[in-house]
Structure 1
Amino acid sequence: MSTFATRLREARTALKLSQMALAKRARVSQGLIHKLEHEGDGSTTRLLQIAEALNVRPEWLANGEEPRRWGSPKLMGADEAHLPKGTPQKTEPTAHGYTLIPRFSVEASAGPGNEILQEEVLDRLAFQTAWLEEKNLDPRFLGIIQAMGDSMTPTLCDGDTLLVSMDQRQAMDGRIFVLRSSTGLFVKRLRILPGLTQLISDNDKYPPYEIGIDQSDQWEIIGRVIWVGRELL
């Protein structure tokens, strides 16, 4: 029976990575990788970072739970406990031609997946109603969340504000989507290939996730990223 240490070594060598190269991808020390390959037990707090760098599921890396890699993004349907996917939201029109869009207390990882702990409306941001109409965006299906991590730089940066259209859940090649897996929310660019979907990080130091078409129950699309805003300090 394989152990965490042997699975870690197997996944690393399959990508032809040295311990140092893996450490750089996962943003950890080479000493940690060496230690985990000899006496690791899957309880490391860096599990998600290492799994993403290896393009494997953290559940497989930690305890051998199959499948090894992620499944294919779903196009419809989901647990409604977190982000209100596909459900019309209450919006608040304002005077002077603006519509208020809710900002939720969840983050989408542009790095290792961010665990979803809760979701509530923090506040609302104003967007020009004419601009929303020009882009054919229904404000009832819009929500605002925050990006976390660096895997989508330079397109998206840590702390960026993302406007997400939660009625646009049809996978589209080359577009950026918020997706959910069992480990949290991710924001990735989709690449649609015959029999395969890849989740692409715009930061080329992160390898793509390869998702087989026969593994359709591991991921679901929450919505498409329409707009990004950031502070320049």
Structure 2
Amino acid sequence: MQEADRRKIADHFNVAEYELGGPREGRDHPLGFFEAEPSNLIFVRRYDVRASAGHGSLVDQELSNGEVPFQAAHLKTLTPTPHDRLSVLSVKGDSMYPTLADGDDILVDQDERQPHRDAIYVLRLEDALQVKRVSVNPITGRLTIKSDNPLYESWPDCDPRRTDILGRVVWVGRRL
């Protein structure tokens, strides 16, 4: 293979030339996720908890289940919140479908506990974690808690003082 051809193919597929049999010297393509310097990665704690997108998931305890790496620059585009105030949870159920699906991972910003716009939040309702869309009535300040899936009921006119919001969902990761 000619060097120029290998370089074009590597550029087209965004892979290193050495992966196509070229030399390992220097960096001849953009820095990819798996090649990121450890100092450019931020590790967000994953919890062994599933936020229910349905009728609620009971939580006995919140145990850490490892960490999820994010490139620092990407994480800063999602939220300015420090990484120790972020967490990754899994979604269980279909009440937030098509926005969130069963098995999706969500990044929760725990510093955003006061809804001030229509967004998706993780809530604790009677010891059950739920992930729901929350909107605020601009006149009364009362909340509407709803599912994106129309097969599930909504809860209009909720008292924000009786709603335990744990954080806003700022990212979703999905398996294809």
TM-score per shorter chain, which class? 0.7 to 0.9
Structure ID, larger Rg:
2
The aligned counterpart of 1:62 is none
**Which 4+ runs in 1 deviate beyond 6 A?**
none
The aligned counterpart of 1:71 is none
Contact 2:51 2:57 in 1 (8 A): yes
Contact 2:145 2:158 in 1 (8 A): no
The aligned counterpart of 1:161 is 105
Give TM-score, length-normalised by structure 2.
0.72
Q: Choose the corresponding residue for 1:177, options 121, 130, 143.
A: 121
What is the alpha-carbon distance in structure 1 between the residues aligned to residue 161 and residue 111 of structure 2? 20
The aligned counterpart of 2:148 is 202
> 1:34-64 CA distances to partner (integer Å, 9 max, x unpaired)?
xxxxxxxxxxxxxxxxxxxxxxxxxxxxxxx
What is the alpha-carbon distance in structure 2 between the residues aligned to residue 231 and residue 145 of structure 1? 14
What is the alpha-carbon distance in structure 1 between the residues aligned to residue 97 and residue 158 of structure 2? 26
User: Which amino acid is the alignment partner of residue 210 of structure 1?
Assistant: P
Give TM-score, length-normalised by structure 1.
0.55
Contact 1:172 1:190 in 2 (8 A): no
By percentage of residues, which structure has more strand? Answer: 2
Say what the alpha-carbon RMSD is for the aligned residues: 1.6
What is the alpha-carbon distance in structure 2 between the residues aligned to residue 140 and residue 190 of structure 1? 24
The aligned counterpart of 2:6 is none
Gaps of 5+ in 1: 1-93
Q: Choose the corresponding residue for 1:147, options 68, 71, 91.
A: 91
By percentage of residues, which structure has more helix? Answer: 1
Give the superposition deviation at 1:107: 1.1
When the two structures are aligned, how many residues end up with a matched partner? 137
Contact 1:132 1:138 in 2 (8 A): no
Give the superposition deviation at 1:96: 5.1
Gaps of 5+ in 2: 1-36
Q: Choose the corresponding residue for 1:216, options 161, 173, 176.
A: 161
